[in-house]
């Protein structure tokens, strides 16, 4: 029977540390502030934004939402970001992705000040992650690393296989594991002999966005399995990229969906916002 890596439990402990940092800043007259931009139209995005607002309320972080209509222009969106970049009471800026097709995501990400880029998507922050000299870490990969640390799962010397090469999860996940002295393989849609590669993993991270993609025959006994997927089935239920029922009995530890990686993603966003506030006010 695998150990269930409980993201709710781990995120609660993590957020207590963040809350203490918020209270310390408030004692100095500083309230960390997060601005979230959402272009309406994607139901999943609305859920994510609401969860982020709720987390801010719990931790005492000031938050404001900028909900824009689906037909907002590129110029209007960039003008909003520019105004937020110039506000001293806003320490972090997040633009919820995906954006409608008529908006250029790359230009939007690049327009956010690197000092306020709490998603760590700006090319400057991505480059700093590559060399290991970073201010912010991407929320989902950093959350996964925190979960492994909390569970005393050491990645040093392990073979970590990441399925998925997105800029949001796959690539930064590989870099963070590499920084901790893991041997890392990234697999993707063009990978040959995928099953043979995944069966060599000591730690397997699934981030492909396909329900139940990872099956039992892709996992060697004793593997730690991290499921980043969040897929809605026809019956409305949420499931991950891993066939949990089949894989759980042969893994040594596994994250559930929901209740696994998701809560830690938001917890790290809160930490990034507080880190931004501390840096902008000269406390780091």
Tell me the sheet residues that pair with 214.
242
Q: Which one, of 179, 183, 163, 168, lies nearest residue 130 by Cα?
A: 179
Q: What is the CA radius of gyration of the chain?
A: 19
Pick the catalytic residue from 21, 96, 271, 280: 96
28 given a catalytic annotation? no
- Any catalytic annotation for residue 96? yes
Does the active-site annotation cover 21? no
Least Cα distance to 141 among 272, 42, 281 occurs for 272
Residues 6 or more apart from 3 whose CB is under 8 A from it?
A: 151, 252, 253, 254
Could you give phi then psi for residue 250, rounded to 5 degrees? -105, -10
Tell me how far apart the alpha carbons of residues 132 and 106 are, in angstroms, rounded to a whole number.
23
Structure letter (DSSP) for residue 127: H
Contacts of 156 (CB under 8 A, 6+ apart): 180, 181, 182
Q: Which of 119, 135, 202, 243 is catalytic?
A: 119
Q: Which residue among the candidates 15, 52, 116, 158 is catalytic per the annotation?
A: 52
Q: Which residues contact 264 (CB under 8 A, 6 or more apart)?
A: 7, 10, 11, 14, 140, 143, 144, 146, 147
Active site residues: 52, 96, 119
């Amino acid at each position: 029977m695998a150990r269930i890596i409980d993201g709710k439990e781990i995120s609660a402990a993590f957020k207590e540390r963040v809350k203490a940092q918020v209270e310390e800043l408030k004692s100095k007259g500083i309230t960390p502030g997060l601005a979230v931009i959402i272009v309406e139209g994607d139901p999943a995005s609305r859920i994510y934004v609401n969860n982020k607002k709720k987390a801010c309320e719990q931790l005492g972080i000031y938050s404001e939402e900028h909900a824009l209509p689906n037909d907002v222009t590129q110029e209007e969106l960039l003008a909003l970001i520019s105004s937020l970049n110039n506000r001293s009471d806003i320490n972090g800026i997040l633009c919820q992705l995906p954006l409608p097709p008529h908006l250029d995501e790359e230009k939007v990400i690049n327009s956010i000040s690197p000092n306020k880029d709490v998603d760590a998507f700006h090319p400057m922050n991505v480059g700093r992650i590559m060399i290991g000299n970073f201010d912010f870490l991407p929320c989902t990969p950093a959350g996964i690393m925190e979960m492994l640390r909390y569970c005393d799962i050491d990645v040093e010397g392990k073979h970590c296989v990441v399925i998925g090469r997105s800029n949001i999860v796959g690539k930064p996940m590989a870099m963070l594991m590499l920084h901790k002295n893991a041997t890392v393989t990234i697999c993707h849609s063009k990978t040959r002999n995928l099953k043979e590669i995944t069966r060599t993993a000591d730690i397997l991270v699934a981030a492909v966005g396909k329900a139940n993609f990872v099956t039992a025959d892709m996992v060697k006994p004793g593997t730690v399995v991290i499921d980043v997927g969040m897929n809605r089935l026809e019956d409305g239920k949420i499931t991950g990229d891993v066939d949990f029922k089949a894989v759980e009995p042969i893994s040594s530890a596994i994250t559930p969906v929901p209740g696994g990686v998701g809560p830690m993603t938001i917890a790290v966003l809160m930490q990034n916002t507080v880190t931004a506030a501390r840096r902008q006010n000269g406390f780091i």
